[in-house]
Amino acid sequence: MNSPTDEDLVANWRDEPAPLLPLLHAFHDRDGYLSEESIAVVSAGLKIPIAELFATITFYHHFAREAPGQSAPRVCTGPICALHGADALLASLDGATPMPCAGRCDGPIPVIKGQQVLIGTNAEELAPTASPLPVANPDGYEECVFADIRAEGRSTLAGYRQSGGYTALQQALTQSPPELIALITDSQLAGRGGAGFPTGQKWQAVANASGEPKSVVCNADEGEPGCFKDRAVLEHDPHAVLEGMLLAAFATGSTRGFIYLRYEYPETCALLETAIAEARTANLIGDNILGSDFSCELYIRRGAGAYICGEEGSLLNSLEGKHPYPRNRPPFPVTHGFEDLPTAVNNVETLVSVPQIVRRGAEWYRSLGLDGRVGTKVISLSGDVQRPGNYEVPFGLPLKTLLYQWAGGPAAGRQIQAVTMAGLSGGFLAGEDLDAPLDEPSIRERGSMLGAGGIMVFDDSRNIVDVARQAMAFFAEESCGKCFPCRIGTQRLEERLSGGGPTDLATWQTEITDIGSAMKATSACGLGMAAPFITDSLLKYFPEQVAQHVQS
């Protein structure tokens, strides 16, 4: 087959919604990199000024601009892979470059080559490996997100239907959108990407907002280090995501939906494309779905490597082909989202909960939490524990239970020194605070947050200041560079965790806390507000290590 011409590629995408990313990927996949000529063609084809397009391309980690580009290995050097020897692997592979956490923290080190993720701890071992299926919890707590994920053939349409799939959509279509919104509101389901905004309320706002077409966006840009739950869901239960999106679209009056999928999950992208094709054939996507008046198209848009695109404003800008800075809020996406029109942006985990709630009822969902808490949360657990993986926990489960009973605790002879929460964004929890029950208010009380639910464990053999340095280096690398407190603050904090800055402890601490306070109070988005959790918690739990670091 001849490779497509520039004109073919532009013609394929020019009139599609959100065309920039897929068009850039088309060139990137064809040539292995984005040449200046290709960038000029895209600029002309989509009428994006060339300087802006160029700058936008440089924003993303994974767009190569010269050969060999895409085929050169990219090695995850995230916090957990660093523990597994990522630096050595990186050094051993020809032409390899590092990449931030690629969401495989429950296994060996991932290496992306072309459209494949290879897993292994050394060059010989690298091989494509499917994502592990989440295991059921040992205490027998009922699940929602993972309730049916282990059913035979669940990732195919037939298997999904066999285990109850799409009955929720069928059921909803016999009712009205307000009834669906009322049900979700009643269930008290809240956003599982970290912000915890009540889902029913968000949908109601989109339904009420004026402007059409409305959109549903599934945020599958799982970029937080130590988070890999969405990947498990998307790979093993893709139709549940589609069904959740269709329900959200029906509830909000949206006629189009986008899955914004992170670049680092290429196989997942292929699986989703298959799932969407199957669903379209079965009249589950498209016009007059299942014979109803409801019509909705679903599209996949692949990111290109930028943590900040998990922030919904950045994500929407990225979808629209703009420079992916976060947006100033208000206005919020519910009224001014994709293309400035009403948009419901929901996380993968939130969306897959919806079909279960529709089938089993609001009361059922509410009852899943412990001690009066509502619902469940998937935790991606990784690092120095014996059984890392995705666990769906009832809200209120003690963190210690998860760490020791469910995951087997640290290796023999080791103690847990600290865990990071919300991936990295919640900073460290350590000492007595590891007794905390897993729910947002309890974790917040301890100066951290649960967020998207990534928990990374560091045992007493680890240099905790260096873990903090790596974390801050990640935030500095991923800061979008727009707002001053975050752009400069993450850099200065990283420098101070790497041995730079004052050598007088008190001065060092005042600088750290002054920078951190300004960042938390004035940053334009969550990245800059959250990054100082790392330094704050480091100072709180590990003053001696800090003193040693500064004075040495």
Residues engaged in binding other proteins (CB under 8 A): 36, 39, 49-56, 58-59, 306, 308, 323, 328, 330, 476-485, 487-492, 495, 500-501, 511, 514-515, 517-518, 520-524, 529
CB-nearer residue toward other proteins: 240 or 546: 546
Q: At its nearest, how many Å lie between other proteins and the CB of residue 500?
A: 6
CB-nearer residue toward other proteins: 4 or 211: 211
CB-nearer residue toward other proteins: 282 or 488: 488
Distance CA 344, CA 318 (A): 16
CB-nearer residue toward other proteins: 377 or 492: 492
Q: At its nearest, how many Å lie between other proteins and the CB of residue 348?
A: 25
Distance CA 118, CA 111 (A): 5
Q: At its nearest, how many Å lie between other proteins and the CB of residue 424?
A: 15
Q: At its nearest, how many Å lie between other proteins and the CB of residue 101?
A: 16
CB-nearer residue toward other proteins: 202 or 327: 327
> How would DSSP label each residue in 473-541?
HHHHHH--S-SHHHHHHHHHHHHHHTT-S-SSHHHHHHHHHHHHHHHHHH-SSHHHHHTHHHHHHHHHH
CB-nearer residue toward other proteins: 404 or 484: 484
CB-nearer residue toward other proteins: 54 or 141: 54
Distance CA 318, CA 415 (A): 42
Q: At its nearest, how many Å lie between other proteins and the CB of residue 313?
A: 11
Q: At its nearest, how many Å lie between other proteins and the CB of residue 498?
A: 10
Distance CA 155, CA 232 (A): 11
Tokens of 263: 């670049």
Distance CA 520, CA 513 (A): 10
CB-nearer residue toward other proteins: 110 or 528: 528
Note whether 105 and 117 are within 8 A (CB): no
Q: At its nearest, how many Å lie between other proteins and the CB of residue 320?
A: 15
Q: At its nearest, how many Å lie between other proteins and the CB of residue 44?
A: 10
Q: At its nearest, how many Å lie between other proteins and the CB of residue 70?
A: 20
Q: At its nearest, how many Å lie between other proteins and the CB of residue 493?
A: 10
> Which residue blocks in 69-210 are alpha helix, DSSP H?
79-83, 86-92, 157-162, 167-173, 177-187, 199-208
Query: Measuring CA to CA, which residue among 392, 394, 349 is closest to residue 367?
Result: 394
CB-nearer residue toward other proteins: 425 or 491: 491
At residue 390, the 3 state secondary structure works out as: strand
CB-nearer residue toward other proteins: 284 or 443: 443
Peptide bond into 110 cis (omega under 30): no
Q: At its nearest, how many Å lie between other proteins and the CB of residue 446?
A: 18
CB-nearer residue toward other proteins: 156 or 513: 513
Sign of CA pseudo-dihedral 173, 347, 98, 105: negative
Residue 437 DSSP one-character state: B
Q: At its nearest, how many Å lie between other proteins and the CB of residue 8?
A: 22
Distance CA 94, CA 170 (A): 52
Distance CA 384, CA 472 (A): 20
> How would DSSP label each residue in 353-377?
HHHHHHHH-HHHHHTTSSTT--SEE
At residue 34, the 3 state secondary structure works out as: coil
Burial pattern 529-542, b for ≥16 Cβ within 10 A else e, equals bbbbbbbbbbbbbb
Tallying the residues shown for the chain, one arrives at 552
Please report, for residues 177, 260, 337, 426, 467, the alpha-carbon distance to residue 414 in angstroms, rounded to integers and kept in the order given: 53, 40, 48, 24, 17
Note whether 434 and 450 are within 8 A (CB): no
CB-nearer residue toward other proteins: 234 or 480: 480
